[in-house]
Amino acid sequence: MLVLLVTGTIGYRLLCKLSWLDAFYFTVITMSTVGYREVGELDAVGKVFTIALIFSGVGLLAYSVSTTLELLLDEQHRTYFTTLLNRRRSRKMEQHYIVCGLGRVGRAVCQELSESQIPFLVIDSNAEKVQSAVTCGWTVLLGDASDDKVLQEANITKARGLVCTVDTDAANLFILISAKGLNPEVEVSARVNEDSNVKKFERAGAVHVYSPFSLLGRRIARTITRPRVLELLDVALEQNNFDITIEEFTVSKTSPLAWLSLKDSGIRQNFGGVVMSVIKEDRVIVHNPDPELVCQPGDILITLGTPEQLKKMREIVELKS
**pLDDT digit string (tens) for 141-168?**
999 999 999 999 999 999 999 999 999 9
Q: Answer yes or no: is pLDDT of 25 > 90.
A: no
N-to-C CA span, the chain: 62
Tell me how far apart the 2 most distant CA atoms of the chain are, in Å: 104
The pLDDT of residue 19: 73
Q: Answer yes or no: is pLDDT of 171 > 70.
A: yes
The stretch 213-229 carries a mean pLDDT of: 89
The residue ranking higher by pLDDT, 238 or 92, is: 92
Distance CA 176, CA 165 (A): 11
Distance CA 193, CA 214 (A): 9
Q: Answer yes or no: is pLDDT of 32 > 80.
A: no
Q: Answer yes or no: is pLDDT of 186 > 90.
A: yes
Cβ neighbours of residue 78 under 8 Å, at least 6 residues apart? 72
Cβ–Cβ under 8 Å, residues 199 and 135: no
Q: Answer yes or no: is pLDDT of 266 > 80.
A: yes
Distance CA 179, CA 188 (A): 9
Are residues 60 and 92 located together in one domain of the fold? Answer: no
Residue 109 inside a domain? The answer is: yes
- pLDDT digit string, tens, across residues 72-106: 555 555 666 677 788 888 888 999 999 999 999 99
Q: Answer yes or no: is pLDDT of 321 > 70.
A: no
Amino acid identity, position 85: L
Residue 237 inside a domain? The answer is: no
Distance CA 165, CA 171 (A): 9
Cβ–Cβ under 8 Å, residues 216 and 280: no
Q: Report which DSSP code applies to 196.
A: G
Are residues 115 and 42 located together in one domain of the fold? Answer: no
Are residues 124 and 101 located together in one domain of the fold? Answer: yes
Cβ–Cβ under 8 Å, residues 107 and 127: no
Q: Answer yes or no: is pLDDT of 284 > 80.
A: yes
> Taking the alpha carbons of 253, 254, 257, 260 in that order, is the dihedral positive or negative?
positive
Residue 170 inside a domain? The answer is: yes
Distance CA 277, CA 261 (A): 14
Are residues 65 and 142 located together in one domain of the fold? Answer: no
Q: Which of 201, 216, 231 is the last residue of a domain?
A: 216
DSSP string, 237-303: H-TT-SS-EEEEEEPPTT-TTTTEEHHHHTIIIII--EEEEEE-TTS-EEES--TT-EE-TT-EEEE
The pLDDT of residue 221: 93
Q: Which helix (H) or strand (E) holds 57?
A: helix 44-73
Are residues 69 and 130 located together in one domain of the fold? Answer: no
Q: Crossing angle of helices 44-73/75-92, nearest 10°?
A: 60
Residue 53 inside a domain? The answer is: yes
Percent of the residues in the chain that have a pLDDT greater than 70, as a whole number: 87
The stretch 292-309 carries a mean pLDDT of: 93
Domain that holds residue 33: 2-73
Q: Report which DSSP code applies to 69.
A: H
Cβ neighbours of residue 310 under 8 Å, at least 6 residues apart? 245, 247, 271, 273, 303
Q: Which of 216, 233, 264 is the last residue of a domain?
A: 216
- pLDDT digit string, tens, across residues 53-63: 777 777 777 77
Residue 14 inside a domain? The answer is: yes
Cβ neighbours of residue 72 under 8 Å, at least 6 residues apart? 78, 81
Q: Which pLDDT band, with edges at 50, 70 and 90, does 67 fall under?
A: confident
Beta strands in the chain (DSSP E): 97-100, 120-124, 139-142, 161-164, 187-191, 208-210, 245-250, 260-261, 274-279, 285-287, 294-295, 300-305
Residue 224 inside a domain? The answer is: no
Are residues 118 and 202 located together in one domain of the fold? Answer: yes
The tally of domains found in the chain comes to 3
Are residues 203 and 95 located together in one domain of the fold? Answer: yes
The stretch 42-62 carries a mean pLDDT of: 72
Q: Which pLDDT band, with edges at 50, 70 and 90, does 71 fall under?
A: low
Distance CA 8, CA 49 (A): 8
Distance CA 73, CA 155 (A): 30
The pLDDT of residue 77: 59
Q: Answer yes or no: is pLDDT of 225 > 80.
A: yes
Q: Answer yes or no: is pLDDT of 250 > 90.
A: yes
Are residues 251 and 200 located together in one domain of the fold? Answer: no
Percent of the residues in the chain that have a pLDDT greater than 90, as a whole number: 50
Q: Answer yes or no: is pLDDT of 35 > 70.
A: no
Q: Which helix (H) or strand (E) holds 49?
A: helix 44-73
Q: Answer yes or no: is pLDDT of 114 > 90.
A: yes
Distance CA 78, CA 220 (A): 44
Residue 232 inside a domain? The answer is: no
Q: Answer yes or no: is pLDDT of 293 > 70.
A: yes
Q: Which of 216, 233, 268 is the last residue of a domain?
A: 216
Highest-confidence range of 20-24, 189-193, 233-237, by mean pLDDT?
Answer: 189-193
Global pTM value: 0.68
The residue ranking higher by pLDDT, 242 or 122, is: 122
